[in-house]
Copies of this chain bind each other. A is one copy, B any other.
Amino acid sequence: MIEMYLLEALAAVDECGTLSAAAEKLRISQPALSRSMKKLEGILNVELFERTKNRITLNETGRIAADYAGKILRSEKDMVQAVRSYDNSLHMLSVGYCAPGPMRIVPATLARCYPELMVTSGMYKEEVLARGLREDQFSMVILTHPLEEEGIVSHYLCSEHLYVSAPPDNELAKREKEGVYFREVDGQTFLQIAHVGIWDEIKARMIPHSRIILQEDQETLNAIINTSSLLAFASDISISTFRRKYTPGRVFVPLLDEEATVRFYCAMKKRTEKKLSRWIEAIVSEEE
């Protein structure tokens, strides 16, 4: 049997042309490589090289052997790649989101159901998410609509409702109960966390005349909000998870347009649905 290191050596010699160059590439000494090539010829019981005193060149047989060697080495690389990535798919769950809201709920509930699973999260545009799901870059994606495709199933996950966060001395604070329409605040300047996914498009449509000041860091943003008289945004999810706690002085006024409510659906392939069945059931029951 020809061991892999011999095939690798042969491929390197084929590639480099000389033993010395190949030895350097392989990070072994040149005599070691010379021996390996002799050993390979011994195993095959075939001459692979034209040898002169200080020159060694692959002959036709050697080139054929080197081609096979290259092919086998690629197979081996493929194997390592495929096995590792399959194993990864068992231990990792890559989830893509179109908005930060569900990202505050899903990873936590997944971790509760499957403590052994490593969950990765990321936010992308919905087209990217759909394509990534098809191509197995994501195990699951969170969208604003069910994805109706062959082999893919979608489940309703949760909804998120948008609020305006107003300082207590602002006129709007009085409207905490009855709410406000987008058009009433269009033109105002808002503070907002960066990267809110789908909400960017909604705000661009509904309050086109507003300026929105973005802040990358959530803690910094909270600090600014607490000392600022500017309006900001919140949602039922963000309020319940941290806004109430970290921007305690603020009044949250619900937006009354239907565009201020988004329904989220999780979409995944059938085989993932099977793997996540416990979580899906839990989500469905929480929803009731």
Query: A interface vs B, CB < 8 Å?
Result: 1-5, 8, 43-47, 60-61, 64-65, 68-69, 71-72, 75-76, 78-80, 82-84, 86-87, 90
Chain B residue contacts of A86, Cβ below 8 A: 60-61, 64
Decide if A76 touches B2 in the complex (CB within 8 Å): yes
Question: Nearest B residue to A83 by beta-carbon distance?
Answer: B65
User: What is the bound-complex CA distance between A5 and B3, given in angstroms?
Assistant: 7
Chain B residues closer than 8 Å to A82, beta-carbon distance: 64, 68
A86 to B48, CA, bound (A): 11
Which chain B residue lies CB-closest to A73?
B1
B75 touches A71 (CB 8 A): yes
Select one of B4, B8, B72, B79 contacting A65, CB under 8 A: B79
Most chain B CB neighbours (cut-off 10 Å) among A2, A45, A87: A87
Cβ A3 vs Cβ B2 within 8 A: no
Can you list 14 contacts pairing A with B, beta carbon distance less than 8 Å? A1-B4, A1-B8, A2-B4, A46-B83, A47-B87, A60-B90, A61-B83, A61-B86, A61-B90, A64-B86, A65-B83, A68-B82, A69-B79, A72-B76
Q: Which residues of B contact A69 (CB under 8 A)?
A: 79
Copies in the complex: 2
Please measure, in the bound complex, the distance between the C-alpha atom of A67 and the C-alpha atom of B131, giving whole angstroms.
Answer: 29
Q: From residue A32, how far is it (CB to closest CB) to chain B in Å?
A: 16
With a cutoff of 8 Å between Cβ atoms, the chain B residues found around residue A90 in the complex are 60-61
Supposing A4-B4, A46-B87, A80-B44 touch, asked if A68 and B61 sit within 8 A by C-beta, the answer is: no
List, in ascending order, chain B residues with CB within 8 A of A60's CB.
86, 90
User: Which residues of chain B come closer than 8 Å to A47, judged between CB atoms?
Assistant: 87
Q: How far is the CB of A259 from chain B (nearest CB, A)?
A: 45
Q: For A84, what are the chain B residues with a Cβ–Cβ distance below 8 Å?
A: 44-46
Q: Find out whether the CB atom of B78 lies under 8 angstroms from the CB atom of A75.
A: no
Q: A60-B86, A64-B86, A69-B79 are in contact. List 16 more A-B contacts (CB 8 A).
A: A1-B4, A1-B5, A1-B8, A1-B76, A2-B4, A3-B5, A4-B4, A44-B87, A45-B84, A46-B84, A46-B87, A47-B87, A60-B90, A61-B90, A64-B83, A72-B75
B-chain residues with CB within 8 Å of residue A72 when the two chains form the complex: 72, 75-76, 79
Cβ-defined contact, B78 with A68, below 8 A: yes
User: How far is it, in angstroms, between the C-alpha of A82 and the C-alpha of B64 when the chains are bound?
Assistant: 8
Complex Cα spacing A204 to B72, Å? 56
